[in-house]
Amino acid sequence: MARLTVNDRPVEFDMDPQTPLLWALRDGANLTGTKYGCGNGDCGACMVLVDGAALRACLITLAECEGRYVTTIEGLSRDRSHPVQQAMVAEQAIQCGFCTPGIVIAAAALLKANPSPGEAEIKVAIPNLCRCGVYPRLVRAIDRAARVARREETISAAPAPGIPASAAARKVPALAPAPTSAPAPSGAGSAPPKN
């Protein structure tokens, strides 16, 4: 049993504490936005925020996440309004759904730590592998996201989500708003009320 906070919700995972966080999120909490790429820490597809740092969820166990605060791509923003998400769309830097969640998470962590990263800093902070070669666009997108986050620019090009948040929550129970009496995420343990 491991207790942690996932996307603002306290969750108990009734799983082997040595289970990689990646599988707890995907199989236990149905948060499938976090992707399995290599399983070895090479690709970055599984990146999530753990206490604000972008970590590879395939390399960290549930036991190591005990008491920590995890944010997945589903919890970064409920309406895709995060500057990185907006800029990735505006710069057409989204190529495949497998790499993008981890890239967005890594970029969000970068901008939190460094609001004005230079190109070299962006390249170092985004170790994610991408076979389609989207890297130049990524640099442009993250640079633009930084400007948006600094309120030097706004983006209006990014489309709204294709389905309303309530419909998304039905498909992904762990996305339901932090509740007083909502059911626990599928496969996960009980989700006690938030204190």
Residues that bind ligand FES (CB under 6 A): 36-39, 41-46, 56, 58, 95-96, 98-100, 130-132, 134
| CB closer to ligand FES, 45 vs 126 | 45
Work out how close the CB of 41 gets to ligand FES at its nearest, in angstroms, rounded to a whole number. 5
Work out how close the CB of 6 gets to ligand FES at its nearest, in angstroms, rounded to a whole number. 17
| CB closer to ligand FES, 37 vs 173 | 37
Among residues 65, 64, 66, 77, the alpha carbon closest in space to that of 105 is found at 77
Work out how close the CB of 28 gets to ligand FES at its nearest, in angstroms, rounded to a whole number. 17
Among residues 24, 29, 26, 23, the alpha carbon closest in space to that of 9 is found at 29
| CB closer to ligand FES, 41 vs 187 | 41
Asked if 15 and 28 touch (Cβ cutoff 8 Å), the reply is yes
Work out how close the CB of 35 gets to ligand FES at its nearest, in angstroms, rounded to a whole number. 7
| CB closer to ligand FES, 46 vs 148 | 46
Work out how close the CB of 23 gets to ligand FES at its nearest, in angstroms, rounded to a whole number. 11
10 Å Cβ neighbour count for 183?
10
| CB closer to ligand FES, 12 vs 98 | 98
Could you give phi then psi for residue 56, rounded to 5 degrees? -85, 115
